[in-house]
A and B are shown apart, each in its own frame.
Chain A
Amino acid sequence: MQSFKDLIANYEWQAIQDDIYRKSAADVVRALAKPGRLDLEDFKALVSPAAAAYLEPMAQRSHQQTQQRFGKTIQMYIPLYLSNECQNICTYCGFSLDVPIARKTLSEEEILAEMSVIKQMGYEHVLLVTGEANKTVGVEYLQCAIRLLRPHFAHIAMEVQPLEQAEYALLRREGLHTVLVYQETYHREEYKTHHPKGKKSNFDYRLDTHDRLGRAGIQKMGLGVLLGLEDWRTDSFFCAAHLQYLEKTYWQSKYSISFPRLRPCAGGLNPKVQLSDRELVQLICAYRLLSDTVELSLSTRESPHFRDHVLKLGITSMSADSKTDPGGYANPNMALEQFEIDDKRPTTEVVASIRRQGYEPVFKNAVGIGDF
């Protein structure tokens, strides 16, 4: 069976990077003037240094296309950290095996306690997050958590270790709707240096995950790169190619992209490449121009100022008021957290701010999964 792994073999990192840096203003103008669909060559132009001078027209078009498709709405979601146990070493992560923090995995009661706080905050779309600890937080645990939560939420998403196709199918039947798995970087060697130990060090297994998700019939998949590990333009090109491949192959699924910028954490890795605010805006718009339909998601890693302004430029979903420590909604404990968030405003404030921009924050936008 064909998978993205086979396709990526045709792409040579350095050649792609050279291509991107060679793109000219004329290439950008041509891409921006296209009335129809943009292709990956256009994407290269839009993430190239040459496009920096065209940020405003990119933003205008991205804004227009996003409103056309999604209306003036922002889907709200909230992460629920179930566990910070992890057997992997990832150089950039506060949950990394070698980081001396307290470890915790929520019990059923604790999950329900989190649930009720989150529900009071108004959230209907929840994102379950764990590290990778198969003994304590394996498929059975996840199955149990989904079963526990599905009567309470309209939409359950998951950001955990990559699983087997049959496991995804099993969790889908339990009511799992969305799965987010970020490749972190598509640069094979760089990947190795950042994932020296644990199951995550297997680049190809991770790369194959979305194909397994597609075959398992998962309705929505998220992808992305950790911006800061490698040249963001080239890495994002690979992610865009991955997206296009998936859209064509698993055409009944929906897709979302996230833009995590590497932040300081307990592990303390400094980003190799700094992505400025202007560059992040450029990247968001480039994705939107490439795909009308992909959902673009922004987390609380970003500052209130940035989030408030960028929500008009192509973003379709946002989290708010997030805690990255397991149990953190009912019993905050900073010693357990994955990274410090930047936008610490309470949900009500974020909501008010979204409304001020002329947008409607949407909390429920799915038939309750429990209905099926």
Chain B
Amino acid sequence: MKTNPLTIADTTFHSRLFTGTGKFSASPLMREALQASGTELVTVALKRVDVHQQQGDDLLTHLQHPQWRLLPNTSGVRNAQEAVLAAELAREALQTNWVKLEIHPDPKYLMPDPIETLRATEALAKRGFVVLPYIHADPVLCKRLEEAGTAAVMPLGAPIGSNKGLRTLDFLEIIIEQSRVPVIIDAGLGAPSHAAQAMELGADAVLVNTAIAVAGDPVAMATAFAQAVQAGRTAYEAQLAQPTAHAVASSPLTAFL
């Protein structure tokens, strides 16, 4: 069953499951899980990449795959200025102008800073980056980011790493309805059912990391997520039947016709 491909900044993706590379117990296991997920976009923290000596057991050697586009993220930076620097470094090291913008000065909950994120998006878009910012599920911020030239928005479903699912549901619905750029639900998806729900809502893609990396069997879990994303998307494109809303009120309104 084929679903429509997703296009971000002129690049087409057939898999709508984006994945992360953190928290895996071993790099070979990570590679196997990513393969099982069918992903085509893999985010990697710039701070984990050994920029200078690409040899030995560097993470990058495990991420060479014809199907995988690498998406460096700026995790660890605290403001827009640092984010721009990190993105420039990543562009040089990984030969990509794509960047997942993550600015979370708060080390406890890793809450994204909306003001710095907007500033960084503006600056990076001007420098020719394809920017994918990680943000709160804030509809107005999404519109401001669009205007700043973002390539997509990545609102969170729940606090990062919390596995709680779509706690921001009402706001995600507004974002999806209004957005002119792809909406990728990032953070908080703890189970394949969460991913399926996001896709049924009309999200363009999801990004899953923790739930796969820390599962008892990451490879099997990656497969389950792949199936869930596919099922959710198929259902969305097939136009879900909805529970019937309110009953018809009493007095007819069109009897005058």
Residues of chain A having any CB pair with chain B under 8 Å: 30, 32-37, 41, 55-57, 59-61, 63-64, 247-249, 251, 277-278, 281, 305, 309, 312-313
Contact = CB atoms under 8 A, between A and B. Distances in A.
B180 A37 contact: no
A248 B178 CA distance: 5
Contact of B253 (A37, A59, A277): A59
A187 to B, nearest CB: 26
Given A55-B254, A56-B254, A59-B254, A35 B243 contact: yes
A246 to B, nearest CB: 11
Given A36-B173, A281-B254, A313-B253, A56 B242 contact: no
Q: 10 closest Cβ contacts across the A-B interface?
A: A59-B253, A309-B256, A251-B143, A59-B254, A33-B242, A33-B244, A55-B254, A37-B177, A278-B257, A34-B242
Given A33-B245, A35-B245, A313-B253, 5 more contacts: A30-B242, A55-B254, A60-B249, A64-B249, A309-B256
B52 interface: no
Nearest to A251: B143
Contacts of B254: 55-56, 59, 278, 281, 313
Interface of B: 143, 173, 177-180, 239, 241-246, 248-249, 252-254, 256-257
Given A37-B177, A56-B248, A281 B243 contact: no
Contacts of B241: 30, 33
B257 A281 contact: yes
Nearest to B241: A30
Given A37-B173, A248-B178, A30 B253 contact: no
B101 to A, nearest CB: 21
A350 B243 CA distance: 40
A56 B256 contact: no
Nearest to A277: B257
Nearest to A56: B254
A61 B143 CA distance: 29
Contacts of A313: 253-254
Nearest to A37: B177
Contacts of B249: 60, 63-64
Contact of B256 (A33, A37, A61, A305): A305
Nearest to B256: A309
A303 to B, nearest CB: 11
A29 to B, nearest CB: 9
A55 B180 CA distance: 32
12 contacts: A30-B239, A33-B241, A36-B173, A55-B257, A61-B245, A247-B178, A248-B180, A249-B180, A251-B143, A277-B257, A281-B254, A309-B253
Nearest to A61: B245
A334 B178 CA distance: 46
Given A37-B173, A55-B254, A64 B246 contact: yes
A35 B242 contact: yes
Contacts of A63: 249, 253
Nearest to B177: A37
Nearest to A252: B143
A34 B202 CA distance: 14
B200 to A, nearest CB: 11
Contacts of A247: 178
Contacts of B248: 56-57, 60
Given A56-B253, A313-B253, A251 B178 contact: yes
A92 to B, nearest CB: 25
Contact of B179 (A57, A61, A248): A248
Contacts of B179: 248
B252 to A, nearest CB: 6
A32 B246 CA distance: 10
A313 B254 CA distance: 9
Nearest to A310: B256
Contacts of B257: 55, 277-278, 281, 309
A247 B143 CA distance: 11
Nearest to A279: B257
Contacts of A277: 257
A312 B251 CA distance: 12
Nearest to A276: B257
Nearest to A2: B180
Nearest to B178: A248
B91 to A, nearest CB: 26
A160 B239 CA distance: 42
A215 B51 CA distance: 43
A57 B253 CA distance: 9
A281 B253 CA distance: 10
Contacts of A309: 253, 256-257
A307 B112 CA distance: 51
Contacts of A41: 239
A238 B254 CA distance: 26
Q: Which of A278, A305, A309, A312 has the most CB of B within 10 A?
A: A309
Nearest to B244: A33
Contacts of B177: 37
A58 B256 CA distance: 15
